[in-house]
Chain A
């Protein structure tokens, strides 16, 4: 389910993008699932076509969906590939931590700080 709250301070395109991205990441929307057309979703959610188009464009740039011409937009395998990259990077990081002797709590704190810096 996608919820768009017009009173929310988050712009509608961002609300849509975040919810679709989350549902793709947690496999609520499986790889290969066909999404509604931009026009259709805009009508369903009472949004402008451009707003939905922007959310789709950003999801496409993130590799989460792909547009196959007139066939429409589909959930791509990009989310799985991103997760696999993250797993590999985590394994490399764990190896560095083990070799330098930094304890686990501090290692987690370093990751959290890096994530916060990335988000902020």
Chain B
């Protein structure tokens, strides 16, 4: 993958957004950012496919169980198909990460010298404790909500909860796959500025992958519409609480550049 003038312009804008105005946009950074933009777009499509797949599974169940004139029998096939789809989406996510890694590796081959820091980054730096705790808390909250709904007497709600649990499992697996890749992908840098940019990219990617976009939409897609049950109130509280907590976490977290400078500076 080669960088274009537009990619270089976007790289300059990215550097300015992170307060790295003294750093010139290099083809290396432009190429890496362009790959991430494309992977991010594809990743959002994967999440949309998961939400649509879960919604279709739920819709199929409602159509076939007699609410809209169906046979009244529950079928195990749609949840199995959804589980298969979820596994496929997690694998697709891993492939996307692998592609980004390949672009990085090819860009690194052009560097006459390589730079790294001698202290490995871990989850406390990338994405950082507040974001890690937030991701675990929101995911746990959503799983507890789905598991509680699974104990409801209404079969339709139980079915929705099962679909939700499958989706959540997929989301959790996707986050783990992505975070593992972000923490283990090789550094691509040839000086201090590109080393800082490398860490900023990691922090940005990690914080984005722990933002619960799907957790906010899945419960709503699957549980709303079955009357005003406590699980609906619960999912509303989850969405609003998670949004508020995200604002607080983002306000309380150090900017990605500060994390990068701390991670790469001598202790």
Q: Is the beta-carbon distance between A34 and B120 smaller than 8 angstroms?
A: yes
A2 with B266, Cβ < 8 A, contacts A34-B120, A36-B120, A44-B186 known: no
> In angstroms, how far is the closest chain B Cβ from the Cβ of A1?
6
CB contacts (< 8 Å) of A43 on chain B: these are 186
Q: A1-32 CB contact bits vs B (8 Å, 1 = yes)?
A: 11111110000000000001001000011100
Q: Is the beta-carbon distance between A23 and B114 smaller than 8 angstroms?
A: no
Q: Is the beta-carbon distance between B112 and A7 smaller than 8 angstroms?
A: yes
Q: B200-232 CB contact bits vs A (8 Å, 1 = yes)?
A: 000000000000000000000000000000000
CB contacts (< 8 Å) of A36 on chain B: these are 116, 118-120
Q: Is the beta-carbon distance between A5 and B113 smaller than 8 angstroms?
A: yes
Residues of A27-80 contacting chain B, CB below 8 A: 28-30, 33-37, 40-41, 43-47
A residues contacting the other copy or chain, number (CB 8 A): 24
Q: Who on chain B is nearest to A37 by CB? A: B120
| Contact residue among B111, B184, B266 (Cβ-Cβ distance under 8 Å from A46) | B111
CB contacts (< 8 Å) of A44 on chain B: these are 114, 116, 186-187
Q: Is the beta-carbon distance between A1 and B186 smaller than 8 angstroms?
A: no
Q: How far is the CA of A112 from the CA of B81 in the complex (A)?
A: 77
CB contacts (< 8 Å) of B120 on chain A: these are 34-37, 40
CB contacts (< 8 Å) of A23 on chain B: these are 118, 266
CB contacts (< 8 Å) of B267 on chain A: these are 28-30, 33
Closest 8 pairs (CB-CB, A-B): A44-B116, A43-B186, A28-B266, A44-B187, A5-B113, A36-B120, A46-B114, A45-B114
Between A and B, 6 residue pairs with Cβ closer than 8 Å are: A1-B117, A2-B115, A2-B118, A30-B267, A40-B186, A41-B116
